[in-house]
Amino acid sequence: MSEKRKGKTVKSARSRSRDLRNLDDLFEKFKRIKQAEGRAAGTMIQYSANYGYFIGYLDDYGIPRSMDAISREVIRDYIVYMKDQKIKFEDHRCKTEQDQTIGLAPSTINTRLKTLRVYFKTLMDEGLIDENPMDGIKNINEPEEEIVVLNADELRRLLNVPNQRNYADFRDYVMMNLLLDGMLRISEALGLRIQDFDFQAQTVTIPGEIAKNRKARTLPLQKRTMRLIQELIEENAADFDRDHIFLSNYGELLTRDHFRNRLNKFAVAAKIRKNVHPHLFRHTSATMFLEAGGDIRHLQLLLGHSDLRMVTRYTHLSRESLKRQHDQYSAINNVLDKLNKSRKIKR
């Protein structure tokens, strides 16, 4: 060996090779695995967002981005932080101080935990980590709150607000009609293209690539809804070279947040005090379907749920419907039947 090499450090491994214990490097591997499994684009975005919230917490509290620093105790501390310390809508430019309350909603916390649960389980299944810090971590209890739906009068007032001579208002009007008629998720509606509509059969097909459960389904639509869709397609063709249905004024894809913000303004103009959001149309339509006598199994197919139990989460019958059913079928009707009949006393 040359004298010049005596006592010198021998380099065998690359100094720039990735650290297999680094959370960011592991998350990149996780994303590639899920992309290969065909996860929907929206799901991938949600994975990244929820991972970002977790990493932000680690950074704020000086916890290294390494598997060596992640334990069940760290996860539980993160849950307590989200529940009791995190300020909701912090730094959100569209929210007032009144909206910025302390503590995230239980459903939001559980959604973020779901991503961590999938993330660490995938790493375990791939043999990339030895222990899963999410083992033994349970979701926090979610109170079963009554889901509010719109009544027919509120729907009419809301649909009367958009000025259909204005492109953006007309587009939003078509969107509201489609969501109500087809019971679509907003993510599904935003992803629809011209070729997804069959104007002869009067149906729309939700491709598997944009469906939440990755399963395509075909839905019937009313003639009026189909005419509105056709009219919007013609409006788009006059100025934009896109095959998507719902576009911004500049020809870009309409976003969920942009539509939701416009929907809020319509609700204010319609003097509706309820929280009006895109998914409310799905709740409302499903509820009205059942109240009108629709079959719950047909509703299951329209909503695109593989499990019938999931349908009940979307169908909260109104108090008026409950009262009508009670008045008609209460057992007391049988007991009081004869007593309620008019009796002949005099000739």
Considering the domain boundaries, does residue 55 fall inside one? yes
163 and 310 assigned to the same domain: yes
89 and 173 assigned to the same domain: no
89 and 44 assigned to the same domain: yes
CATH number at residue 69: 1.10.150
Considering the domain boundaries, does residue 104 fall inside one? yes
84 and 220 assigned to the same domain: no
Phi-psi region of 70 (alpha: psi -120 to 50; beta: other; left: phi over 0): beta
Query: Which amino acid type is present at position 126?
Result: E
Q: What is the largest CA-CA distance in the chain?
A: 136
Mean pLDDT to the nearest integer, 161-179: 97
Between 157 and 1, where is the model more confident?
157
**Range 304-311 contact pairs with CB under 8 angstroms and sequence separation of 24 or more:** 304/206, 304/211, 304/212, 304/213, 304/215, 304/217, 305/213, 306/213, 306/215, 311/286
- Residue ending a domain, among 125, 140, 167, is 125
Q: Which helix (H) or strand (E) holds 110?
A: helix 106-125
Tell me the backbone φ, ψ of residue 298, rounded to 5 degrees. -65, -40
* Residues 96-127: tens digit of each pLDDT: 555 556 888 898 999 999 999 999 999 999 99
Phi-psi region of 172 (alpha: psi -120 to 50; beta: other; left: phi over 0): alpha
214 and 110 assigned to the same domain: no
Considering the domain boundaries, does residue 142 fall inside one? no
Residue 57 has pLDDT above 70, yes or no: yes
Token output for 234: 């013609």
101 and 249 assigned to the same domain: no
Structural domain count of the chain: 2
Phi-psi region of 91 (alpha: psi -120 to 50; beta: other; left: phi over 0): left
198 touches 205 (CB < 8 A): yes
Considering the domain boundaries, does residue 334 fall inside one? no
pLDDT more than 70, % of the chain: 83
What pLDDT, on a 0 to 100 scale, did the predictor assign at position 64? 96
240 and 192 assigned to the same domain: yes
305 and 164 assigned to the same domain: yes
Considering the domain boundaries, does residue 336 fall inside one? no
Beta bridge partners of 217: 206
Considering the domain boundaries, does residue 7 fall inside one? no
CATH number at residue 298: 1.10.443.10
What's the gap between Cα 193 and its chain centre? 20
Q: Which residues constitute the domain of residue 34?
A: 23-125
Give CA–CA dist 211/194, Å, rounded: 16
Considering the domain boundaries, does residue 330 fall inside one? no
282 touches 288 (CB < 8 A): no
36 and 160 assigned to the same domain: no
Considering the domain boundaries, does residue 332 fall inside one? no
* Residues 231-280: tens digit of each pLDDT: 999 999 999 999 999 999 999 999 999 999 999 999 999 999 999 999 99
118 and 158 assigned to the same domain: no
105 and 161 assigned to the same domain: no
CB count within 10 Å of CB 99 equals 10
> Alpha-carbon dihedral of residues 117, 145, 212, 215, nearest 10 degrees?
110
Token output for 102: 């302390």
What pLDDT, on a 0 to 100 scale, did the predictor assign at position 318? 62
91 and 165 assigned to the same domain: no
Cα-Cα end-to-end distance for the chain: 133
